[in-house]
Amino acid sequence: MAKVISRREIAPQTVLLELEAPRIAFKRRPGQFVILKQDERGERIPLTIAKSDATKGTITVIFQMVGAGTRGLGTVPVGGEILDTVGPLGRPTDIQHVGTVVSVGGGIGTAVAYPIASAMKAAGNKVIGIVGARTRELVILEEEMRSVSDELLITTDDGSYARKGFVTDVLREVIARGEKIDEVLAIGPVPMMRAVCAVTREAGIKTVVSLNPIMIDGTGMCGGCRVEIGGQTKFACVDGPEFDGHQVNWDVLDLRLSAYKDHEHDACRLYSTENH
Amino acid sequence: MTLVMPPHSLLPAATVCPTPTSTPVSKAARPPRQKMPEQPVAERILNFDEVPYGYSPELAELEASRCLQCKKPACVDGCPVSVDIPGFIKNVAARDYLSAARLVKSTNSLPAVCGRVCPQEEQCESLCVLAKKGESVAIGRLERFVSDYEREHGLGELPPTAPPSGFKVAVVGSGPAGLTCAGELVKLGHEVTVYEALHKAGGVLVYGIPEFRLPKSIVGTEVDYLERLGVRIQLNSPIGKSETVDELLESGFDAVFIGTGAGLPYFMGVPGENFIGVYSANEYLTRANLMKAYLFPEYGTPIIRGQNVAIIGGGNVAMDAARTALRLGAKHSIIVYRRSREEMPARTEEIHHAEEEGIEFQLLSAPVRILGDKSGRVKGLECLRMELGEPDASGRRRPVPVIGSEYVIDVDTVVVSVGNGPNPLIPQTTPGLITSKHGNITANEDTGSTSKPDVFAGGDIVTGAATVILAMGAGRRAAAAIDNHLKVNKQCAPSCSVAEIDQVVE
């Protein structure tokens, strides 16, 4: 059982939950994730840990309420409990002093990019943060990202806030400035990560991405989260979730993420009838 | 002849109910091996309920009367946990079912499970004297009967346990090896905590073996029993991630037993394995069993309900997946196996049940490619015909491809059931623990001791994928070795006070 300590809607349909999970808070390192299962009937939902507080014994996750599972999770009130919480899972990010790091977060991906950017900053790197979102109200963790970035650049697809355009537009400009960039971290929707990798491949910059395929156990047992990296099958839960972005077969990832689209409609319909 | 119906209230009238042969037992006329009544095929393929109902007391008594009560029972030698087989069967014949159950439980901590999933025909029953002339005593069915009787009558008494030893043991993994090891250790007076990565205890018994072959309530009862004995079960704890083995030892455990099983599915490495609709058997069965995807959307986890499902492999897991596919609504559930029936590793009983239910078999067929449609969903499985050549290292005749024999099976779902490797979480995070090149932990076969002090291992993580009972045997032997190790090598004698224990732990 993990108690919900605080809950905030930080953007439309986007929920931040702080959970009481002392063992995980103590152990967790940036880049790792937890799996939450709300109740007896719930799905196992993998979520990257955005923040943890070892003293307080809490972890923070941020997610979008897109399916029946996340909608259920997002409505657990403060003081309510989540039946099963397991972690920390996955390999932590390889945090090193490399020089200059560009951290690109797209949409909800910023919740994953933030702890990594924060650790990269703490390791002595110069961090250039890029945060992108569809529209103004979906820009999340702006202040947090600003606090760990030497420079923060924001884009919105519709131009409703900051710079109009895509994260790749800004990234190209940063690269064009001629400053040496040692590593790019890109976390967000598949099209965004794919686009970032295309830009950095051309520029010859090492790029790390964090992948979020469908998974069940998170310990290597089911093989549902398999991804194709450099032509090899890897399990995101135990071999990742971070991989060399230039080696990822994005078509496979995109395809496998769509496996249960039809099921999701049924589940959401049922969720709506039961909860309204 | 009188028709004696088993007194199961749930038994539908249509059930095929074997009639016990009521002839008095004499040397001249031994009754035949008694069958278990079971759900009729047409009904059972539409539900996930258990297939056999088990013996009635009458059937059990009759079956028990067939036992010769050998002075030197060979059957016991065939049992990895040395159950006193003639002893408990004698109790059944005398209608003393509870004594029978207690006797079985004294060496087998999961009898209701073993009575259902053990390959008795290769173990105890294969050595039964009666098997030489005809049919062996149905030892497994009797074991199942006595443990079910005890459970259903709520008479599960706790066995005597030794006084507290002051030693603490961590058991990693709550599958057959871990649960058995924990049960033995707690009876010896040690404080035992079992760590399980998933949200439910039982390992492969809950995520892998389907409800229709092993009801989860039975696993639950066996786990409850261990908890009543004093075993602590810590769920959601993937050791290696949540804590390392070294951290367990540092936190005060005197020994650690690793029974994390074979939990890393192999794929075939053929093109198309990442199309939508291709599952590992682990994922398919975990969705269906542990996550109850057959009740989606009431339960949150979905599963693709294929109309035409190919299952690749010939083991028990493949049979389980094929029969699960049928129950999820498949019109055709097809086992694709590259050797012939004789080489199939699945139990005869499982193959028989699968055949009865209409599972199709494409033998001597090896998949070469999975075909997908424009949207990336499975639409076919391309196979190559095989023929049997010379025996290979396993003694089975090696399948050899027939050149140019490619053909396509129209399927929309493919379940890959070609085995599992060892789970990497512990080997990756435990310095000093020697593993084989495949990643299995190297451990002494008799004691389970590993290259790392105070760390023992057993079950599939050591041997590679095998059976429930072999894992239990390893768990039991390791428990005895751990007990001995603690008493001989650890400073804290069983008689020392709690204060002294705390000092030692610090």
Same-domain check for residues A129 and A23:
no
pLDDT computed for residue B68 by the predictor? 93
Which chain B residues have a beta carbon less than 8 Å from that of A88? 241-242
Which chain A residues have a beta carbon less than 8 Å from that of B200? none
- Say if residues A43 and A102 touch (Cβ distance below 8 Å): no
Same-domain check for residues A85 and A153:
no
For residue B281, give the chain A residue with the closest CA: A222
pLDDT computed for residue B287 by the predictor? 96
DSSP A54: T
CA distance B480 to A123: 49
End-of-domain residue from the set A27, A55, A89: A89
The first and second tokens of residue B55, run together, are: 């013996």
Q: List the CATH number of the domain containing A193.
A: 3.40.50.80
Same-domain check for residues A122 and A172:
yes
pLDDT computed for residue B468 by the predictor? 87
Same-domain check for residues A51 and A108:
no
Task: Report pLDDT digits (tens) over B306-341.
Answer: 999 999 999 999 999 999 999 999 999 999 999 999
Query: Inter-chain contact B286–A217, Cβ cutoff 8 Å?
Result: yes
Same-domain check for residues A65 and A110:
no
Omega of the bond leading into B391 within 30 degrees of 0 (cis): no
Same-domain check for residues A77 and A130:
no
pTM over 0.95: no
pLDDT computed for residue A275 by the predictor? 60
Q: Is B98 on the interface with A (CB under 8 A)?
A: no
Task: Report pLDDT digits (tens) over A219-272.
Answer: 999 999 999 999 999 999 999 999 999 999 999 999 999 899 888 777 777 776
Query: Inter-chain contact A219–B207, Cβ cutoff 8 Å?
Result: no
Query: Inter-chain contact A224–B423, Cβ cutoff 8 Å?
Result: no
Q: How many folded domains does chain A comprise?
A: 2
Work out how many CB contacts closer than 8 A connect A with B. 120
Structure-token match 């424009």, residue found: B374
Which chain B residues have a beta carbon less than 8 Å from that of A44? 199, 291, 301
Same-domain check for residues A79 and A110:
no
Nearest to B102 by CA among B37, B166, B149: B149
Task: Report pLDDT digits (tens) over B119-159.
Answer: 898 899 999 999 888 899 999 999 999 999 998 887 667 88
End-of-domain residue from the set A63, A89, A115: A89
Low-confidence ranges of chain B (pLDDT < 50): 1-17, 21-26, 493-506
pLDDT computed for residue B27 by the predictor? 52
Q: Is A228 on the interface with B (CB under 8 A)?
A: yes
Same-domain check for residues A135 and A60:
no
Q: List the CATH number of the domain containing A70.
A: 2.40.30.10
Query: Inter-chain contact A219–B304, Cβ cutoff 8 Å?
Result: no
Low-confidence ranges of chain A (pLDDT < 50): none
**Three-state helix/strand/coil letters over A242-274:** EEEHHHECHHHHHHHHCCCHHHHHHHHHHHHHH
Query: Inter-chain contact B283–A216, Cβ cutoff 8 Å?
Result: yes
End-of-domain residue from the set A89, A111, A142: A89
What amino acid occupies position A213? Answer: P
The first and second tokens of residue B197, run together, are: 């990565």
Same-domain check for residues A110 and A166:
yes
Q: Which domain holds residue A48?
A: 2-89
Instruction: Tell me whether residue A268 is in a domain.
Output: no
pLDDT computed for residue A274 by the predictor? 66
Residue in B174, B207, B241 to test binding to A, most A beta-carbons within 10 Å: B241
pLDDT computed for residue B28 by the predictor? 52
The minimal CB distance from A23 to the residues B242, B275, B376 is found for B242
Query: Inter-chain contact A263–B242, Cβ cutoff 8 Å?
Result: no
Instruction: Tell me whether residue A162 is in a domain.
Output: yes
Query: Inter-chain contact A267–B242, Cβ cutoff 8 Å?
Result: no
- Say if residues B432 and B411 touch (Cβ distance below 8 Å): no
What amino acid occupies position B300? Answer: G
Q: Is B208 on the interface with A (CB under 8 A)?
A: no
pLDDT computed for residue B155 by the predictor? 65
